[in-house]
Structure 1
């Protein structure tokens, strides 16, 4: 016989060991007296006896109250406030008679139980007591963790972040320790993350606890988070909201939304003991203000006066109880038909699922290719995969889409082979027949499905296979222009209409196609081979796409073999959808330094590119910044690795020519990509760069941006040997 439902979860939220001790004391007294109600004084005596007995036998026990050295120094009269808390917490099953000063199980419950119920309850309380003490004997201390971070952080910021001991401690050991607390471990939906920055140290480090069912990151939704002030004098334990998504339409609108949400949540929850104001001081920048208006409630701790471990754990458990209550209310408020049957995974977790799926299908791709492909799509929903035939470009698109639940069977993946005779958009978008009826092309047919309300949260992938068999600018120019017209409309991102209303004559066509944009759940990927049968790309196309190259082939790379049945995990469109359309959307204190550092690097590169009229504009600057921001948010690769991919994909494809100016540009760019590992003698390389490309591996060894360095060396070799150079193999 199992326990009644009312008893099964009574120890899920523990107040130290006192709930279990109270139940054991009550059951002992009931067994000896045969009575349902027991005198409160007898329960206090038994309660104290059980604690003293454990202490005398050397078993783990909670510290004595009132700063006493031993439970033998405590009297029963001093226990009133100690047992009042668990009595109140168990009021659903216990009844306290204030007049008679007795305590017992509620009569209606007790009369419905047989003797086996009390025996099983005794066993449950004993087991939970031992589990509790087992967890308390771990080496992890929340107080020590907070104090260590606050004491060491400012010094650590003067050191490199990569492989830093404090950084590793915060990212790995602190989350592991916090996950071990019983009131967090018992909820499988809770996850713990911590960050000190990505690439550079964060101004405000954080430790977050979030429920996977309502948020996957600190950018949106509600979660618990420790926020550390910039000067490390104070840490705030807060119930907070993500500010990134809220501020996507500007801070004025975002702050209005956040304040309204704060009041709604405060009205829903008890939040006993927490402060409910905006008196949070983290930093003087814009992000500090964001945190003020987005915080629902908080505890404030000073570094030089941190509370005891017991108080810190009690505060955290109280906030977790409030948070769990909020999550239950939030989930219950969502109509069942609107709940998406998808796993709430972090970006890292979902990409691991994608790579596992691809591996189980028997395919392997170079390191970071999947992460790069994801970031490229999220930065701009148009990506080009280039390279020699047979390197798996089309297969990558198909497998990536399948891993996210998008298949040709459910209509979320479409392969559109490009024909050499395509010369205008009609083959892709559609045309009017002899009766002036509009006949949709393959792109339009996919968009008609993707824009339906029931499908707006699903990603749709369109693969334009052999995209440059025809001139891309001829048949794809309308789509390229449309992508530049993206704007926010209510909760979505859409473009201008694909088909002009004035060109539609019949009313059914006007209704169906007249206001049809490219929605934010459609992703366009082109595969291209660069050889004598294909057409080159113009800068207009290259400006609007990340170009991922597949040319470094390892024929001795064998399939890992299937490790099981490959299963796809449907992903929501939020996984890929862009959060930013303009740089101003992201230009706050969180990413301001990243944007400015990246822009300064691009200014230096532009000064070099201007001599061959290949310098970049705002569009490329913004896309590169977005790529780096999304990378930092998901913590997929280092900042150097991310910028390396962007140099390779957004800058180098623009360079092609034959005169000495191009040699100078490539050598100067190579010096930037090599970093400080090697100083190039420009005068020696004016006529001949063979010293560099004959020893390519040695040249790029230790480079800051090795992928770009290797590509530039190849381009220099081609210039020396052919008198002409280009990014593309042919």
Structure 2
């Protein structure tokens, strides 16, 4: 009997050999125990023993991340490694966390039987042998042809976790580093895009003495044409920084001059020295024509053998080495000066560092004599990480603006260095020009307050620094009127060259002069800028539309404990640097823009969270307050970050998200609103709070329910206590005033 299709397809996408080894380890344990469920620890042991044994036999296998030998891999790392194939195979495998066992889903196990297990074992062994055979001999020709043959169709498939991404980011760099003429002074890096497929994928070799990024400096790089008709081995220059610093026209002139000087300096034997490199029709295609010093073209289907390819690469690397030796010599002062001003690349933090940094931030806040509720700082951080726009709501004097200022200070962002900016919103603001800027009568562009920050933040030397903008009392004017352009542009975020970019904010019709075009042209929302709005909800302010609420987490500051006093045991600082060291913006920048970016690794959490939201949406549909994909994705990102950094329990994190993303949408006076509030309260209390919610009994009078929670108290064992408390206040407002809203409690 043939294997079910669900089984035959499991090895179709192979990033590594992990899936095959996991299946073989599981089958071995199933046979040894004759049970449907076996010890997960024993399967892990079999998994590890396979790789150790193969390496000790001298065979090449996938290495554990960051290490050469599997024997040196710690057990904690093994758990992370094996979780990857387990998560990828959840449609056929079941892990019971209670007794730590693993096996096939029961129905599939019965369907397979012993004959099916044997067929699956042969399939896994065949796939593993084929995979390992490819590892034993590195064929550059094979890889180049493979990429050109498969890349176009791969772009139609999901980006996250794709095998071609692993090939560019891990396999090819590792193989090239093994070549004898590429030593430790070189960095090898490949890319098929960041979050989305790149139009022109590349594989670069960079001499760390002059550059470690393809955005500036000179390097050797394989560039693939957009239509995959050819791949070019090139001696090239980074275009991003010269164009940002000088503008496109002057940047092109600079690159052409550099090309001329390098061609005069080097022999560049057997390489083409013209501008006939054809990668794409416009944009980067033109940039590469200008920045390419010399190239060798390999056409698809006619790539030469490995011996010729390696010889070509060695010749280009030798020219590159001679060039770097020349420009870094002590006699070349001009180039030495250029190298000194290159910006430092921002390094992402390890997940385990995040908790420590948040503790430092909290310590800084306490030393200033301020106290915020438990987990508020973590919640604020996760909200900014999920989306760089957060709203702080509550009565005046509760510390909303102060939280933003102190949080920014703890990360090295102050008013003095320009990384913290407070922008008071004026009641007469009526369109985006009040915030972004306008063209005056002389035809010059006059930047608005937020545009000035964006321009400063995108400067080369500032791109790794976090910038905080606090829009104080942002609902004194109608947010949708003056903030609409920013809200729209915020939704255009995409990955490009490893950075998050957006569409332009300033219309080209406002930029008449060359100076204005260079200063404000191509200005989006920089990835290192974080927007926080503070709001006081009373009769003098304007309400928020769902368009605004969908794009932000709303943190509430209405529950105040006045009996909080400074801790005299701690010295209160009035000036000087905070405890937390200055960090780069990657501490806060989003790692995911679309759910597909995070789905593979976090599938179980995403599905679990989405199933909860589906049930809540069924209630909200009655009052037209249900949420869409944007809100679902934002909540999932928040939950994923919380799980990654181990900041709160899953229920605590979901409690914050209910409070901040769901409840602000609820308002009205109809009886259906009462039903929704009561149903949500029932779910928020859960079964362990000692409080029974009978919706039928409370339809006419819910006083017995919310009066139990006077002075902001909730049952300590409520499943989602903050949500339950807020819902009780909203219900009380509905009964006393005939109308309720999140903002009026």
User: TM-score range with shorter-chain normalisation?
Assistant: 0.5 to 0.7
How far does the alpha carbon of each residue in 1:174-199 deviate from its partner, in whole angstroms, 9 at most, with x for none? xxxxxxxxxxxxxxxx999959999x
Q: Is the Cα contact below 8 Å between 2:642 and 2:653 reproduced in 1?
A: yes
In structure 1, what is the equivalent of residue 390 of structure 2? 383
Following superposition, the deviation at residue 676 of structure 1 comes to 2.0
Following superposition, the deviation at residue 521 of structure 1 comes to 0.5
Q: Is the Cα contact below 8 Å between 2:348 and 2:587 reproduced in 1?
A: no
2:519 aligned to which of 493, 512, 522: 512
Q: Is the Cα contact below 8 Å between 1:401 and 1:407 reproduced in 2?
A: yes
Q: What aligned pairs does 1:671-686 form with structure 2 within 5 A after superposition? A: 671-677=682-688, 678-686=691-699
Q: 1:196 to 1:669 in 2, by over 3 A?
A: farther
Q: Is the Cα contact below 8 Å between 2:40 and 2:102 reproduced in 1?
A: no
In structure 2, what is the equivalent of residue 533 of structure 1? 540
Q: Is the Cα contact below 8 Å between 1:248 and 1:585 reproduced in 2?
A: yes
Following superposition, the deviation at residue 357 of structure 1 comes to 1.0
RMSD: 3.5
How far does the alpha carbon of each residue in 1:218-251 deviate from its partner, in whole angstroms, 9 at most, with x for none? xxxxxxxxxx99679xxxxxxxxxxxxxx97652
Following superposition, the deviation at residue 343 of structure 1 comes to 11
Cα separation, 2, equivalents of 1:521 and 1:432: 27
TM-score by length of 2: 0.56
Q: Is the Cα contact below 8 Å between 2:39 and 2:102 reproduced in 1?
A: no
In structure 2, what is the equivalent of residue 637 of structure 1? 648
Q: What aligned pairs does 1:26-37 form with structure 2 within 5 A after superposition? A: none
Q: 1:477 to 1:249 in 2, by over 3 A?
A: same
Q: Is the Cα contact below 8 Å between 2:445 and 2:510 reproduced in 1?
A: no
Q: 1:512 to 1:253 in 2, by over 3 A?
A: farther
Higher Rg: 1
Q: 1:268 to 1:543 in 2, by over 3 A?
A: farther
Indicate the SS of the match to 1:728.
helix
Q: Is the Cα contact below 8 Å between 1:405 and 1:570 reproduced in 2?
A: yes
Q: Is the Cα contact below 8 Å between 2:398 and 2:560 reproduced in 1?
A: yes
Following superposition, the deviation at residue 477 of structure 1 comes to 0.7
2:735 aligned to which of 686, 697, 720: 720
Cα separation, 2, equivalents of 1:671 and 1:196: 42
Answering whether residue 613 of structure 2 is matched by residue 602 of structure 1, we say: yes
Indicate the SS of the match to 1:630.
helix
Q: 1:712 to 1:425 in 2, by over 3 A?
A: same
Cα separation, 2, equivalents of 1:489 and 1:552: 42
Q: Is the Cα contact below 8 Å between 2:659 and 2:722 reproduced in 1?
A: yes
Cα separation, 1, equivalents of 2:732 and 2:596: 41
Q: What aligned pairs does 1:137-176 form with structure 2 within 5 A after superposition? A: none
Gaps of 5+ in 2: 1-32, 42-71, 87-99, 105-157, 182-327, 329-338
Indicate the SS of the match to 2:555.
strand
In structure 1, what is the equivalent of residue 660 of structure 2? 649
Indicate the SS of the match to 1:541.
helix
Q: What aligned pairs does 1:429-448 form with structure 2 within 5 A after superposition? A: 429-448=436-455
1:260 aligned to which of 167, 172, 193: 172
How far does the alpha carbon of each residue in 1:566-615 deviate from its partner, in whole angstroms, 9 at most, with x for none? 43411111100101111111110x21011111111101000000000000
How far does the alpha carbon of each residue in 1:468-526 deviate from its partner, in whole angstroms, 9 at most, with x for none? 11111110011000100111111110110001113322222122212111111110000
Q: Is the Cα contact below 8 Å between 1:385 and 1:548 reproduced in 2?
A: yes
Answering whether residue 502 of structure 2 is matched by residue 495 of structure 1, we say: yes
Answering whether residue 698 of structure 2 is matched by residue 690 of structure 1, we say: no
Q: Is the Cα contact below 8 Å between 2:706 and 2:728 reproduced in 1?
A: yes
In structure 1, what is the equivalent of residue 592 of structure 2? 580
Gaps of 5+ in 1: 1-150, 159-189, 207-227, 233-246, 270-332
Q: 1:518 to 1:352 in 2, by over 3 A?
A: same
Q: Is the Cα contact below 8 Å between 2:357 and 2:580 reproduced in 1?
A: no
Answering whether residue 557 of structure 2 is matched by residue 550 of structure 1, we say: yes
Q: What aligned pairs does 1:361-400 form with structure 2 within 5 A after superposition? A: 361-400=368-407
Q: 1:426 to 1:157 in 2, by over 3 A?
A: farther
In terms of mean alpha carbon deviation, does 335-344 or 695-704 score higher? 335-344
Q: 1:258 to 1:440 in 2, by over 3 A?
A: same
